Amino acid sequence: MKRKLGIYIHIPFCVRKCRYCGFYSKSCVDDGEHRKYVKTLIDDIESKGSELSGKYSVDTIFIGGGTPSVMDGPLTGEIVRALRRSFDVEDDAEITIETNPKTLDEEKLMEYREAGINRLSIGCQSLDDEVLGTLGRIHSADDFRETFALARRMGFDNINIDLMFAVPGHTMEKWDETLTEAIALRPEHISFYSLQIEEGTPFYDMFKKGEIEQVPDEIDRQMYHHAIARFREAGYEHYEISNCALPGRQCRHNLKYWSMEEYLGLGDGASSFIGGVRYANHPLREYHKNNFRDDTTEFVWTGLRKTVGVSFDEFRKRFGLEFWMVFEDCREELQEFFDSGRLIEENGRLRLSEEGMDVSNQIMSVFV
């Protein structure tokens, strides 16, 4: 029986890099460059397909970036069709593409539909034009509204929208207005992230020069918990630290990352996790191989991102040992989080409470 595999395709092109973006990408709208990249990508797809297709069936594909929708629709169609030729792609596979509202039109969406792309992720970030301007986005709130309506008319019934909070100058009032409108649109999935000012980004330089100020942590956390409350009231399930979905609409591909399932990354900067080996492209480097403590630690880190947490039974089946036998040395340091209710052990699971998500990095670091 074939094992399940997710495939991630990285498209590193954007119209313009946003001020906060720390991902591997570059400004490039040249069709010739896009075509050269896709040709190389398809060569890699065919090579990996000949190596892996007999062992795996593909149940999720995620085309990310960058801004994949900056490319012409037919180029994206070529990528998906190459994947179908080279791999055993399941009939009900979840196939996602990340998009920017300013780079979508009816023709492009039609090409996506014809290629079998059945899930859109739209980088909205905010429905306030002032906030979008601060972030350096190329689209306006109206661009997003029009794009979302067009996607619905074109038959897309599985749409994610990305939202960002704690942007310099952001207020709770602006955040709540964005939440209200976003919920009213009823996307199937909503990702919501706190702005992180990363070194090497324009925002970092602006912060160092004193041109912008970070939103205080207290306000950041208020925005986070307010969003969770609003989403729950509207019928969304908060299933991962920064993600919620309508029932049955969780992102199947991203759940692979958080559950340490196998996935293949293709394209510059893409990472893979296959057969217990993790590696990244450009440059190729192996992170670790069969390092038991590294694997168990990652299992905890990714598992605690999900609201259901880590299953002790699943840990035992995967690693052949009891959870607390492996992490016995962590118990004492974790006790304060148990006592405060931020970390909960119940029903054969270890999970973060909603308050625990505020200090998730602090808790997870104990397991390193």
102-115 pLDDT tens trace: 999 999 999 999 99
Residue 293 binned pLDDT confidence (cut-offs 50, 70, 90): low
**How high is the mean pLDDT of the chain?**
93
Note whether 230 and 342 are same-domain residues: no
What per-residue confidence (pLDDT) applies to 103? 95
What per-residue confidence (pLDDT) applies to 17? 80
In Å, what is the CA distance from 19 to each residue of 22, 25, 201, 287, 349? 9, 12, 6, 29, 39
Note whether 107 and 208 are same-domain residues: yes
Indicate which CATH number applies to the domain containing 173.
3.20.20.70
The single-letter code of the amino acid at 51 is E
pLDDT, one tens digit per residue, over 37-69 is 999 999 999 999 999 999 999 999 999 999 999
Confirm if 4 and 261 have CB atoms less than 8 A apart: yes
Q: What percent of the chain has pLDDT over 90?
A: 83
What per-residue confidence (pLDDT) applies to 32? 95
In Å, what is the CA distance from 330 to each residue of 124, 157, 296? 40, 44, 13
In Å, what is the CA distance from 96 to each residue of 24, 104, 120, 214? 19, 15, 6, 32
Of 218, 239, 257, which residue sits at a domain end? 257
pLDDT at 88 over 50: yes
- 243-245 β-sheet, strand order: 237-240, 243-245, 189-194, 159-165, 119-125, 88-99, 56-65, 3-11, 263-266, 271-274, 277-280, 285-289
Of 241, 257, 273, which residue sits at a domain end? 257
In Å, what is the CA distance from 246 to each residue of 149, 163, 235, 280? 19, 16, 7, 33
Q: Is residue 285 part of a domain?
A: no
pLDDT at 285 over 70: no
Q: Is residue 269 part of a domain?
A: no
What per-residue confidence (pLDDT) applies to 291? 57
Note whether 251 and 356 are same-domain residues: no
Q: What is the pTM of this model?
A: 0.92
pLDDT at 253 over 70: yes
pLDDT, one tens digit per residue, over 207-245 is 788 888 888 999 999 999 999 999 999 999 999 999 999
pLDDT, one tens digit per residue, over 127-164 is 999 999 999 899 999 999 999 999 999 999 999 999 99
What per-residue confidence (pLDDT) applies to 292? 63
Confirm if 67 and 13 have CB atoms less than 8 A apart: yes
Query: Range of 330's domain?
Result: 310-368
What per-residue confidence (pLDDT) applies to 286? 38
Q: Is residue 291 part of a domain?
A: no
State the number of CA atoms in the 13 A half-sphere of 285 facing the CB.
4
Note whether 218 and 320 are same-domain residues: no
User: Once rounded to an integer, what is the mean pLDDT over residues 265-272?
Assistant: 94
In Å, what is the CA distance from 52 to each residue of 83, 98, 253, 279, 287? 12, 25, 18, 16, 21
DSSP state for residue 207 in the 8-state scheme? H
Listed in sequence order, the DSSP H helices in the chain are 31-52, 73-86, 106-115, 129-135, 141-153, 172-185, 202-208, 217-233, 252-258, 292-305, 312-319, 323-326, 331-340, 360-365
Of 9-18, 88-97, 173-182, 330-339, the least confident: 9-18
Note whether 340 and 249 are same-domain residues: no
Of 92-106, 225-239, 287-301, the least confident: 287-301
User: Once rounded to an integer, what is the mean pLDDT over residues 9-29?
Assistant: 85
Q: How many other C-beta atoms lie within 10 A of the C-beta of residue 323?
A: 22
User: Once rounded to an integer, what is the mean pLDDT over residues 189-208?
Assistant: 85
In Å, what is the CA distance from 252 to each residue of 25, 119, 245, 349? 24, 11, 11, 21
Note whether 14 and 131 are same-domain residues: yes
In Å, what is the CA distance from 368 to each residue of 53, 252, 327, 334, 355? 35, 27, 10, 12, 21
Note whether 328 and 184 are same-domain residues: no
DSSP-derived secondary structure for 15-40: SS--TT--SS-EE---HHHHHHHHHH
Q: Is residue 292 part of a domain?
A: no
As a whole number of angstroms, the distance between CA 81 and CA 273 comes to 23
As a whole number of angstroms, the distance between CA 101 and CA 84 comes to 27
pLDDT at 283 over 90: no
What per-residue confidence (pLDDT) applies to 226? 98
Beta bridge partners of 243: 191, 240
Note whether 117 and 248 are same-domain residues: yes
Of 67-81, 205-219, 278-292, the least confident: 278-292
Q: Is residue 267 part of a domain?
A: no
Domain count, the chain: 2
Q: Is residue 192 part of a domain?
A: yes
What per-residue confidence (pLDDT) applies to 288? 38
Note whether 232 and 333 are same-domain residues: no
pLDDT at 287 over 80: no
Q: Is residue 43 part of a domain?
A: yes
pLDDT at 289 over 50: no
Q: Is residue 296 part of a domain?
A: no
Note whether 222 and 355 are same-domain residues: no
Note whether 197 and 332 are same-domain residues: no
User: Once rounded to an integer, what is the mean pLDDT over residues 116-132?
Assistant: 96
Q: How many other C-beta atoms lie within 10 A of the C-beta of residue 277?
A: 13
Of 194, 225, 257, which residue sits at a domain end? 257
Confirm if 168 and 201 have CB atoms less than 8 A apart: no
As a whole number of angstroms, the distance between CA 352 and CA 309 comes to 7
User: Once rounded to an integer, what is the mean pLDDT over residues 250-276?
Assistant: 95
Note whether 176 and 33 are same-domain residues: yes
